[in-house]
Amino acid sequence: LSVKNKWIIIFKILAFNVEVALVRDQIFRNSGTTRIARLQFWKDAIDSIYGDGIIPRQPVAAALNCFAKSANVNLLRLLITARQRTLGDRPFDSIEAVSKYGVYTYGSVIKLIMEILSDYLAGVNEIEAAAKAANSMGEAMAMINLLRTIAPLISRGIVLLPADLLKTYNLTAEQICFQQASALPSLAKDLCFSAETFIKKSRLCIKELTPALRLALMANGVTVDYVLRISQRCNYNIFDRRLQMSCSFLPWRLWWRRFSQIY
């Protein structure tokens, strides 16, 4: 595959991931079954694209069929099933459940990109270092994403923080919703510590990865570093507006990491 064709496939896969994520984000408690059926639509669409079914007349589905027939179908399915497990705005059972969610969502996307960039020479799951780096980066992304969404979700009366973490800090969902939780900065610091641990774990694999595989991890690495840095600067205040802002000088930061072959 040419470099241009590789990036076409990657953009189609990213578009699919955004479609599924948006459907999940639009499913609220007691909001009916329409959006839930939309997730099932994507599950059926993947079965049709990578099987012998009729391809739905939907732009992203058609693009996947045209450009991404070689993509790992099991990883694509994981992107859907992981979102289905979190329907109903139920909080995570544990911090471990957050980690698994990160592996199944962010980690799966990273692996899909890795497989494309490495010309499908071997499934990423068969390359231990690549799988470990992708999974750990996915776990780090899940932690910082959970941290960033606390404030926006509180405005909708939703708390997804894992039960075991709330118990550790003697917090309840009601206290958090009414912003009466003095231990919230400590909880946020705990999430940041977990994210930092996971990203360090991912970076331990860097010498075993080719530059092409490292490329799949760069954007996530920049994002995690940015959120950790901002969290520290704002003393782990989850209501600080800077947490909701995108990383400044992102193109430059990505260029530098690509030049340095780091993530």
Integer Cα distance of 59 and 42 in angstroms: 12
- CA end-to-end span of the chain: 24
In the numeric block, which tokens belong to residue 178? Answer: 């009414």
The pair of three-digit structure tokens given for residue 34, joined into one six-digit string? 């329409």
Q: Which residues contact 224 (CB under 8 A, 6 or more apart)?
A: 137, 140, 141, 144, 195, 199
- How many residues in the chain? 263
- Residues of each domain in the chain carrying CATH 1.10.600.10: 91-263
* Category of 55 on φ-ψ map: left (φ > 0), alpha (ψ -120 to 50) or beta: beta
Each residue's pLDDT tens digit, 73-130: 999 999 999 988 777 677 899 999 999 999 999 999 999 999 888 875 555 555 789 9
C-alpha pair distances (Å), 49 with each of 73, 77, 104, 238: 9, 12, 21, 41
CATH code of 91-263, in short, is: 1.10.600.10
**Contact between residue 228 and residue 194 where contact means Cβ atoms under 8 Å apart:** no
Of residues 136 and 37, more confidence is placed in 136
192-201 pLDDT, tens per residue?
999 999 999 9
Which sign, positive or negative, has the C-alpha torsion 77, 81, 82, 84? positive
What's the whole-number mean pLDDT along residues 158-174? 90
- What single DSSP character describes residue 185? H
CB 12 within 8 A of CB 64: yes
Mean pLDDT for the stretch of residues 250-254: 90
* Whether this model's pTM surpasses 0.95: no
Q: Would you state the pLDDT for residue 178?
A: 81
User: For residues 203 and 57, what is the distance between their CA atoms, to the nearest angstrom?
Assistant: 41
- 246-259 core/surface letters (b: 16 or more CB in 10 A; e: else): ebeeeeebbeebee
The CB density around residue 115, as the number of other CB atoms within 10 Å, is 25
Whole-number pLDDT of residue 164: 92
pLDDT tens digits for range 214-251: 999 999 999 999 999 999 999 999 999 999 998 888 88
Residues of the chain with pLDDT > 70, as a percent, come to: 92
Condensed to tens digits (0 to 9), the pLDDT of residues 42-58 reads 899 998 988 888 888 88
What pLDDT sits at residue 120? 56
Q: What is the mean pLDDT of residues 5-23?
A: 89
Burial class (CB in 10 A: 0-12, 13-18, 19+), 137: buried
